[in-house]
Amino acid sequence: MARPQCPVAFCGDQVPSFCYNFPVPANLPPEYHKIEAELRTARTPEEKIDIYERLVAVIPHHKGTDKLIAMYRQKIAKAREEGEHRTATAKHAPTYKVERSGSGQVVLVGPPNAGKSSLVKALAGAGPEIADYPFTTRSPSPYMMPFENVKIQLIDTPPVTGELMETWFPEMVKMADAVLLVADLTDPDGPLVIDGILGRLRERKVDLVRADADVPPPYFPFRKRALLAANKIELAGSAQAFEELGRLLDGPFERLAVSAASGHGLEDLRRAVFGLLHVVRVYSKVPGKKVERDSPFTIRVGSTVLDMAKAVHKDFAEKLQYARVWSASGLDGLRITRDYVLSDEDVVELHI
């Protein structure tokens, strides 16, 4: 007797033995079915894992969906095993993972000769290899960019285009906190090249969004806040090219005219990169002592006093009774509760 067809697309053509009598929940959101439809075109283990994880994120968690979620998690484990087996038995392009450091990690993305390495050197004072020929940068390299009293990790990367992008590159973008696109204002095809890069990233399920966009946790690996640094503004004709870039490029991000060579616009760029991270700086003050402002804690926008206490030490969060806050908005040692939402450069005195 033929086995019944699977009511859930991820299982393939037929129901596996463990799926018999499995009830499909009737209250799945419309987004679930849209994501599930992508399984029909998924080919690699990485693509399947991407879809499975997004499905788990949108499925309502209650008793009626426990089995469905468990099955997807089993599929994720199986796809990971398949991916590891392929890696062990076949030759693949190299993969790169850069451990996050500082207040956040921002990956630079741009075509050949756009000046990414020159921009990194100007922003971070670092010394990546720079030359007048393309593909000088051959692998991702991290550098620390100072901004006021914090440091932000910039990842200099090999050049990419819509036609030339290694398979590991979108995965690196997914792991980063934000993206800094770099365009060459002297390249007449610059808008077309940048648009090709955006299209290629979208094919790998990576969407670049505005710096002020809200990116909830389920979408964090696939939606990245971004801004565009239009480099070489000091050269003749670049001012007009900058205006045309905004007209020709179909992208939602802020554009900044900069020059790695002259330093034009770099301070504004530093501040804009910090804004991409959506973090606030808070200072921990010991009762009876002056605040030290050279080493703030960086926590996500919308974080509370309790979140800050967890960042200091888990014991502080468990034993926290109340806190006092000093802020630029006028709070002067006001006693507050643990659910008070902190702002940038608040001073917090924890009492346990």
pLDDT of residue 11: 47
Q: Per residue in 52-68, pLDDT tens? A: 888 888 888 887 888 88
Q: How confident is the model at residue 7 (pLDDT cuts 50, 70, 90)?
A: very low
Question: Rounded to 5 degrees, what are φ and ψ at 280?
Answer: -120, 150
When mean pLDDT is compared across 73-87, 113-127, 293-307, the lowest value belongs to: 73-87
Q: Measured between alpha carbons, how far is residue 201 from residues 35, 111, 174, 196, 234 in Å?
A: 17, 13, 10, 9, 30
- Amino acid 232 reads K
In order, the DSSP letters of 156-167 are: E-----SS---T
The domain segmentation of the chain, as residue ranges, is: 9-89, 105-276, 279-351
Q: Is the pLDDT of residue 10 over 70?
A: no
CATH topology of domain 279-351: Ubiquitin-like (UB roll) (3.10.20)
Phi, psi values for residue 144, rounded to 5° = -105, 125
pLDDT in tens, 236-290: 999 999 998 888 886 778 999 999 999 999 999 999 999 999 999 999 988 888 8
Tell me the CATH architecture of domain 105-276: 3-Layer(aba) Sandwich (3.40)
Please choose, from the candidates 292, 280, 282, the residue with its C-alpha nearest in 3D space to the C-alpha of residue 325. Answer: 282
The per-residue pLDDT of the chain, averaged, comes to 84
Residue 188 near residue 206 (C-beta atoms within 8 A)? no
pLDDT, tens digit, 9 for 90 and up, residues 303-348? 999 999 988 887 888 888 889 999 878 888 899 988 999 999 999 9
Contact 236, 264 (CB under 8 A): no
Q: Whole-model pTM?
A: 0.69
